């Protein structure tokens, strides 16, 4: 991996909600950063009431508190990449947009978390409009699932062709690059579009209930790989391979969907495997969900 001469790892910033069960949100992001030999810092946008059984409630952090967190972090550490997850309110979207407009970070990965898998709304309609208007064009890549892509693009998405159309629409709306994850399809496929060609990534579904926080880990792994010097398409493929294996090695913790095993490489002595510039033979992941 591309580490600076000082030996200090890249510092990555996650801006997202807190999951008490530590399977999603900033906990998943920080674990994913660490698994990629990066150092993570975090600004909390909301505190959720949730477990592996789903999200029961959300208490957003005020825009003033979020702004103060971000200002203090930015003054203190050089940020190599930013991952943005759940923002909770329109005011928080505005705070993050102002930060990105003022401070030009090398890489920004936007995971537009709009609803919990359980159906609980995590960003209201005014917040979604603000996110679409202010944040899409500020991100290096956005990583919506099919439901999120449908809301942001305004298109009904059915299958791979619908995903390609939505990805192209999101580019027209300002996104520089798009990965739409389709883990809920009968035949899982993800679509990557960078403005040139739409590339589908298919494969077999991972047979595991331990999928809590897959979307968070996926977007965070992309951010980490970008910070470590990968090209965007390689960063996406490496992130998919990482998430697939982390799902396979996930933990049966709790009474619902268990978390991924973010540190499977370290536990199996496979860190050297992640140093390769090629995609591991683990194959792609196909179960991207949020919270």
The predicted-structure confidence for 76-119, as pLDDT tens digits, reads as follows 999 999 999 999 999 999 999 999 999 999 999 999 999 987 78
- The Cβ of residue 1 has, within 10 Å, a number of other Cβ atoms equal to 18
In this predicted structure, what is the pLDDT of residue 287?
45
DSSP string, 241-269: HHHHHHHHT----SSSSPBP-TTHHHHTT
Residues paired with residue 13 on neighbouring β-strands, in sequence order: 41, 82
C-alpha dihedral, 165 to 176 to 136 to 163, nearest 10°? 20
d(CA 239, CA 241): 5
User: SS3 of 239, please?
Assistant: helix
Q: Name the token pair of 66.
A: 């979020």
- The Cβ of residue 128 has, within 10 Å, a number of other Cβ atoms equal to 18
Nearest Cα neighbor of 94 from 63, 71, 56, 116 is: 63
- Inter-CA distances, 28 with 18, 95, 135, 187, 280, Å: 9, 23, 22, 26, 21
Burial of 206 (0-12, 13-18, 19+ CB in 10 A): buried
Residues paired with residue 181 on neighbouring β-strands, in sequence order: 145
Structure confidence by residue, pLDDT tens digits, 246-267: 999 998 999 999 999 999 998 8
Residues paired with residue 60 on neighbouring β-strands, in sequence order: 46
Burial of 119 (0-12, 13-18, 19+ CB in 10 A): exposed
3-class DSSP string for 159-171: HHHHHHHHHHHHH
d(CA 36, CA 13): 14
- Is the entire prediction scored with pTM above 0.85? yes
In this predicted structure, what is the pLDDT of residue 159?
87
d(CA 248, CA 39): 25
Nearest Cα neighbor of 50 from 119, 111, 110, 2 is: 119
The angle at the Cα of 187, spanning 183 to 192, to the nearest 5 degrees, equals 55
- What is the DSSP code (8-state) at residue 6? T
Instruction: Characterize the bridge pairing of strands 54-60 and 39-51.
Output: antiparallel
- What is the DSSP code (8-state) at residue 181? B
In this predicted structure, what is the pLDDT of residue 291?
57
| Regions in the chain scoring below 50 on pLDDT | 1, 271-287
Q: Name the token pair of 5.
A: 């001469």
In this predicted structure, what is the pLDDT of residue 1?
47
Write down all domains in the chain, each with its CATH number in brackets. 11-275 (3.40.1190.20)
In this predicted structure, what is the pLDDT of residue 3?
53
In this predicted structure, what is the pLDDT of residue 188?
79
End-to-end CA distance of the chain: 29
């Amino acid at each position: 991996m591309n580490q600076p001469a000082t030996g200090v790892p890249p510092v990555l910033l996650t801006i997202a909600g807190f999951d008490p069960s530590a399977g999603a949100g900033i906990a998943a992001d920080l674990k994913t950063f660490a698994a990629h030999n990066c150092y993570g810092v975090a600004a909390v946008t909301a505190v959720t009431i949730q477990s592996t059984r789903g999200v029961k409630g959300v208490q957003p952090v005020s825009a003033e508190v979020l702004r103060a967190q971000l200002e203090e972090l930015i003054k203190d550490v050089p940020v190599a990449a930013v991952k943005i997850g759940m923002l909770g309110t329109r005011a928080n979207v505005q705070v993050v947009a102002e930060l990105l407009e003022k401070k030009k970070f090398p890489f920004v990965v936007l995971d537009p978390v709009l609803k919990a898998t359980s159906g609980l709304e995590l960003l209201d309609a005014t917040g979604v409009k603000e996110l679409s208007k202010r944040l899409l064009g500020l991100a290096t890549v956005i990583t919506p699932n099919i439901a999120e892509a449908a809301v942001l693009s305004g298109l009904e998405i059915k299958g791979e062709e619908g995903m390609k159309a939505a990805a192209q629409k999101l580019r027209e709306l300002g996104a520089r690059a798009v990965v739409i994850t389709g883990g809920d399809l009968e035949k899982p496929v993800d679509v990557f579009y960078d403005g040139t060609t739409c590339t589908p990534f298919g494969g077999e579904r991972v047979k595991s209930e331990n999928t809590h926080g897959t979307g968070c880990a996926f977007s965070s792994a992309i951010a980490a790989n970008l910070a470590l010097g990968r090209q965007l398409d390689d960063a996406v493929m490496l992130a998919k391979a990482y998430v697939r294996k982390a799902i396979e090695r996930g933990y049966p913790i709790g009474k619902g969907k268990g978390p991924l095993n973010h540190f499977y490489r370290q536990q199996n002595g496979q860190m050297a495997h992640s140093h390769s510039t090629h995609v591991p033979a683990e194959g792609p992941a196909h179960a991207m969900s949020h919270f």
